C-alpha cells in the first residue's frame, strides 16, 4: 500500500490538556480514511494538524513529525499557504464566503494567482459540475452563496476546495448538519473522488464509516486505539474497546 501522509509520534497539548498522545499513523493514498471516535477524542485536532490550522490556536504545544509525500509539513515555517492549498477542507457546517456563488469558487483561484477570466470561468463551471451543483445554480451565479440551502452550500464548499486542486481532502464530520439526501450526495462524491484524491474524514457515525471507509482509525481520549483496513476493522477487530464501540456498548 502506498502512503500519502505519515504521522510519527505526534503529541499535542493545549495549555495543560493533552489532546493527542503518541499518534503514529500512515494514511494510504487514493483511499478514504475514516477517523472514528466519540466527541472530544481529538479527531478534529488531528485533522487541524494536517493542514496546520492548528497554528491559529493559542498555547499549543506540539511535538512529533508529519510527512506529506516524505516532506516535513509540521515544522516548516515556509510556504504555509502552499501546504494548506494541497489539502481541501470541508468543515462540519458549510461556511460560504461572504460573496456570490461564482466568487466563492473563483476566490481560491484568484488568491493562488490565477487572473485569466476565461480560465477562472471554466474552472468554476467544471468544479460546480463535479459536485453536481451546476444545474441547480447556473442561472444564479451572481446571487449570494448564503441563499443556497445548507446541503447546496456544503457541496459549494467542496467545489471551492477542489477548485484549488488539492491532493488531499480533509473532511470534519461533513454531513453532520445535512439532511439524509444531501449526506448521501456527499458520500457518493467522496467515493468518486478517491480516484484522484486522498480523503481523510472525521465522523462519529458508524454506519457512514461502514459505507465509505477503506481504512479506519479509531481514536479514544487522544490515542489511537486501533487502525486497519475497513475489512479488518469492522469484521475482525482486535481491541476490546473497538469491539465494544462497534457493538454500541461503549461508554
* Interface ranges with another protein (CB under 8 A): 51, 53, 56, 58, 81-82, 84-85, 87-89, 91, 93, 95, 97-100, 107-108, 111-112, 144, 146, 157, 160-161, 164
Nearer to another protein, 109 or 230 (CB): 109
Exposed/middle/buried for residue 42 (C-beta within 10 Å: 0-12, 13-18, 19+): buried
Q: Least separation, in Å, of the C-beta of 116 and another protein?
A: 18
Q: Least separation, in Å, of the C-beta of 52 and another protein?
A: 9
Nearest to 218 by CA among 40, 20, 4, 38: 38
Q: Least separation, in Å, of the C-beta of 189 and another protein?
A: 18
Nearer to another protein, 110 or 188 (CB): 110
107's enclosing H/E stretch is helix 101-111
Distance CA 37, CA 44 (A): 10
Q: Least separation, in Å, of the C-beta of 137 and another protein?
A: 16
Nearer to another protein, 33 or 100 (CB): 100
Q: Least separation, in Å, of the C-beta of 184 and another protein?
A: 23
Nearest to 8 by CA among 78, 82, 77, 74: 74
DSSP letters for 31-61: SEEEEE--TTSSHHHHHHHHTTGGGGSSSEE
Nearer to another protein, 86 or 211 (CB): 86
Sheet of 198-203: strand order equals 87-90, 168-172, 198-203, 32-36, 215-220, 223-229
Distance CA 226, CA 18 (A): 19
Q: Least separation, in Å, of the C-beta of 250 and another protein?
A: 29
Nearer to another protein, 154 or 242 (CB): 154
What are the two backbone dihedrals, phi and then psi, of residue 217, each rounded to the nearest 5 degrees? -120, 130
Distance CA 65, CA 44 (A): 18
Nearer to another protein, 51 or 183 (CB): 51
Nearer to another protein, 126 or 241 (CB): 126
Cell 466568487: give the residue: 103
Q: Least separation, in Å, of the C-beta of 94 and another protein?
A: 9
Helix (H, G, I), strand (E, B) or coil at 84: helix
Amino acid at each position: 500500500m502506498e502512503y500519502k501522509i505519515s504521522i510519527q509520534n505526534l503529541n499535542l497539548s493545549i495549555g495543560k490538556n493533552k489532546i493527542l498522545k503518541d499518534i503514529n499513523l500512515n494514511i494510504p493514498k487514493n483511499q478514504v480514511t475514516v477517523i472514528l471516535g466519540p466527541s472530544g477524542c481529538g479527531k478534529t485536532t488531528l485533522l487541524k494538524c494536517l493542514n496546520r490550522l492548528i497554528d491559529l490556536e493559542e498555547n499549543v504545544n506540539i511535538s512529533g513529525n508529519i510527512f506529506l509525500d516524505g516532506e516535513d509539513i509540521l515544522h516548516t515555517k515556509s510556504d504555509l499557504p502552499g501546504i494548506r492549498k494541497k489539502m481541501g477542507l470541508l468543515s462540519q457546517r458549510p461556511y460560504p464566503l461572504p460573496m456570490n456563488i461564482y466568487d466563492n469558487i473563483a476566490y481560491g483561484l484568484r488568491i493562488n494567482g490565477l487572473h485569466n477570466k476565461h480560465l477562472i470561468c471554466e474552472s468554476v463551471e467544471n468544479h460546480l459540475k463535479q459536485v453536481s451543483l451546476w444545474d441547480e445554480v447556473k442561472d444564479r451565479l451572481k446571487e449570494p452563496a448564503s441563499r443556497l440551502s445548507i446541503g447546496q452550500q456544503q457541496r459549494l464548499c467542496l467545489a471551492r476546495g477542489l477548485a484549488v486542486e488539492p491532493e488531499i481532502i480533509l473532511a470534519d464530520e461533513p454531513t453532520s448538519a445535512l439532511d439524509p439526501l444531501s449526506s448521501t450526495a456527499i458520500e457518493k462524491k467522496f467515493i468518486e473522488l478517491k480516484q484522484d484524491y486522498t480523503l481523510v474524514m472525521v465522523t462519529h457515525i458508524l454506519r457512514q464509516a461502514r459505507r465509505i471507509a477503506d481504512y479506519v482509525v479509531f481514536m479514544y481520549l487522544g490515542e489511537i486505539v486501533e487502525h486497519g483496513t475497513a475489512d479488518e476493522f469492522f469484521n475482525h477487530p482486535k481491541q476490546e474497546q473497538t469491539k465494544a464501540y462497534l457493538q454500541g456498548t461503549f461508554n
